[in-house]
Amino acid sequence: MAGEATSADDTKNEFNSFVTGLGRGVAGALFLALPMLMTMEMWYLGFTIARERLLLLLLVNIPLLILLAHRIGFEETFTWREAVRDAIIAYGIGIVTSVIVLAALGLLHADMPVSEAIAKIALQSVPASIGAMLGRSQLGHDDTEGEDKETPYHSELMMMAAGALFLSLNIAPTDEMMVLAYKMSIWHAIVVTLLSITLMHGFVYAVSFIGGHELDPETPWWHAFVRFTLPGYVVALAISVFALWIFERLGDSSAVEIMLSVIVLGFPASLGAAAARLIL
């Protein structure tokens, strides 16, 4: 709540809840980034990834974190200034967690080139920072929002992008992703796209999860399908292209081959986008 919690004896409470928020952030970073910290391809990317693409990924992460912070945050953030502060803290937690885990697993050595070590940490800090940010919403759940709030359409799309990016980062670096694209026929790909779109719509509207969306009884179902699900799927595919390009998975392939790998990655990405609408 914006103004209510700022009486004089609350300074200590505020500090305590901030520390709790940090703890949840670390827990979230560990829970959600550990699969990536323990994936071989992610370590190799530390020395193979093109530095300008890595930089772009790190920069794109910042507005996503700020948006997530504005939405959930470590504390109830109401101004964009606080959101920026929380995003920086989450990024920091992501970096520190990555350093600790990578070092503990013996993936950082003293005789390793500095640029390789930094690239490894920087790459892992992106999912870890998103994890840190989600930690509060996932693990905290002291939902104080009894009142109505409205999500503008563009933030709804941005949240889907964040969810899609998070799952893409899990899967885009793995070799399995490319093998699937090589093995499947175009018919398989068409089935995967239909499955992605159906599941996306179903998760958000049909299955009654907490956080699910519902429509007014008189609104036809396809209204939400056209306004939210299809744009969400396009966002998920765009994020897939971005993730594949960042990890140099597109290569010198023909358009059909690129499309197949984008569709394979678009499957988890679209589920990530749908999950973001449910959770956030």
Instruction: Report the interface residues with another protein, using CB under 8 A.
Output: 143, 145-153, 156-157, 175, 178-179, 182-183, 185-187, 189-190, 193, 197, 210-216, 219, 223-224, 226-228, 230-231, 233-234, 251-254, 256-257, 259, 277
Q: How far is the CB of 92 from another protein (least distance, A)?
A: 29
Provide, rounded to whole angstroms, the least separation between the CB of residue 212 and another protein.
Answer: 7
Residue closer to another protein (CB basis): 127 or 232: 232
The least distance separating another protein from the CB of residue 200, rounded to whole angstroms, comes to 12
Nearer to another protein among residue 38 and residue 179 (C-beta): 179
Burial of 193 (0-12, 13-18, 19+ CB in 10 A): middle
- 52 or 252: whose CB is closer to another protein? 252
Number of Cβ atoms within 10 Å of the Cβ of 97: 26
- CB 144 to another protein: min, Å: 12
Residue with tokens 């948006």: 67
Q: What span, in angstroms and rounded, lies between the C-alpha atoms of 41 and 48?
A: 10
Which of 20/155 has CB closer to another protein? 155
Q: Helix 51-71 crosses helix 80-104 at what angle (to 10 degrees)?
A: 130
- Residue type, position 192, single letter: V
207 vs 226 by CB, closer to another protein:
226
Instruction: Identify the CA nearest to 246 among candidates 51, 40, 39, 35.
Output: 51
Rounded least distance, CB 240 to another protein, Å: 12
Whether 126 contacts 231, CB under 8 Å: no
